[in-house]
Amino acid sequence: MPEQQQIKKIYRAVSDELSRKIFCSRLLYSMTGDIESIKWMMDDFRESAESNEKWMMLKNRIEKLDKKPYIFGKGAYGKILCEKTGGKKVWKGFIDNQPEASECMGLPVIQAEDFLGKYSGEKVVLSSKAFLAEMRSQLLSAGINEENIIDGTAWYDATEGRQYFDLPHLVYSDDEVFVDGGSCDGMSAVRFAEECRGKYEKIFCFEPDKKNIERLKHNFDSRNVENYEVINKGLWNEKQELSFSANGAANSHIVAGNEGSAAKIEVVSLDEALGGTRASFIKLDIEGAEYKALQGAEKTITQYKPKLAVCVYHKPGDIWELPELILEMRPDYKLYFRHYSDRSIETVLYAI
């Protein structure tokens, strides 16, 4: 448990009232496990997302359709789209290129080729931000009219699309060097490039899951993201081999021992990987390895004072251990906390 002086040190560095409230609530949750202590954060985020103009327009459009549409993509956001708009009452089913199951959320899942071969004029709502262009192209190539294709990614834009970058105190220059720790499908780096309007020096992507790297490169190529380097390693405080559970998804993670499909991966410190190269912005969402990664970035942080966006929810102690470590390296950082989920996950610490 944290000591009083630790909490005071962090609290004094927190720079706005919302951040103080989130810090105190998250601290109480970590110490007691009482979900009620952070329920207000979850409720606020849900209300904010549901009142987003794009999301409200999408919901309204779907509600006014004369017959039930299909959702293209049964991934996480396809399921959210289904849930948030009425489920079986609203939707006819899911379409997917790799269905793997015949049913999802009580609705049939149809192989995309089979659906296109029997298409009879239904509206199709695209659920994947990462594969939006590909889905649209696939439908258009099959002869489906543009008017029957709906961009359904508004929930992503209202929620995950904001994470790591929506703090108004973040200011970008034309020579930014972005370190994406835990790149997954590369969409955070895509968002960074968009925030910089394509004017940046370099993007370093650290991602140990090879399946994720395939998706990352696809997303970069389809969006013309340039000046990047993909490093197929995890971030840690030193170079070594560790066990890793690769799921081809956002929850791939380092494990203490053998776990499911655990395999050996190479991890490296950021200081060693960059070799003295400047970093201006470091994002870390690496499933509980954030503390070790920050230790391995000490020289970079001390010398360059990059902007930091670090997840502080994977372990109970993250909420005080991570900001304390950052302040030990650079006491002049100003700290901010923001929450990006209607669940207990996705709380981010910004250091500016």
9-34, pLDDT tens digit by residue?
A: 999 999 999 999 999 999 999 999 99
260 pLDDT higher than 60 = no
CA dist., res. 211 & res. 86, Å (int): 33
92 pLDDT higher than 60 = yes
Give the max Cα distance, the chain.
67
* Tokens of residue 253, six digits: 């993670």
Mean pLDDT along residues 82-110: 95
pLDDT of the residue at 257: 56
327 pLDDT higher than 70 = yes
User: Terminus-to-terminus CA distance in the chain, angstroms?
Assistant: 26
Segment 219-250, tens digit of pLDDT: 999 899 999 999 999 999 999 999 887 665 55
CA dist., res. 270 & res. 129, Å (int): 29
Mean pLDDT along residues 59-78: 95
259 pLDDT higher than 60 = no
pLDDT of the residue at 249: 55
Global pTM reads 0.88
312: helix, strand or coil: coil
pLDDT band at 261 (very low <50, low <70, confident <90, very high): low
Half-sphere exposure of 105 (CA within 13 A, CB side): 24
Long-range contacts (CB closer than 8 Å, 24 or more residues apart) made by 207-210: 207/180, 207/182, 207/183, 207/231, 207/232, 208/232, 208/233, 208/234, 208/244, 208/246, 208/252, 208/265, 208/266, 208/267, 209/184, 209/244, 209/246, 209/247, 209/248, 209/252, 210/246
How high is the mean pLDDT of the chain? 94
Find residue 283's DSSP bridge partners: 180, 309
CA dist., res. 210 & res. 248, Å (int): 8
User: Of 10-14, 29-33, 55-59, 208-212, which gets the smallest average pLDDT?
Assistant: 208-212
What's the CA angle centered on 57, arms 186 and 115, to 5 degrees?
A: 65
Q: Are 165 and 192 in contact (CB under 8 A)?
A: yes
Q: List, as one string, the DSSP characters of 41-85.
A: HHHHHHHHHHT-HHHHHHHHHHHT-SS--EEE--SHHHHHHHHHT
Residue matched to tokens 């904001």 = 162
Query: Quick one: how many helices (H) and strands (E) in the chain?
Result: 14, 17
Q: Are 252 and 288 in contact (CB under 8 A)?
A: no
CA dist., res. 145 & res. 132, Å (int): 16
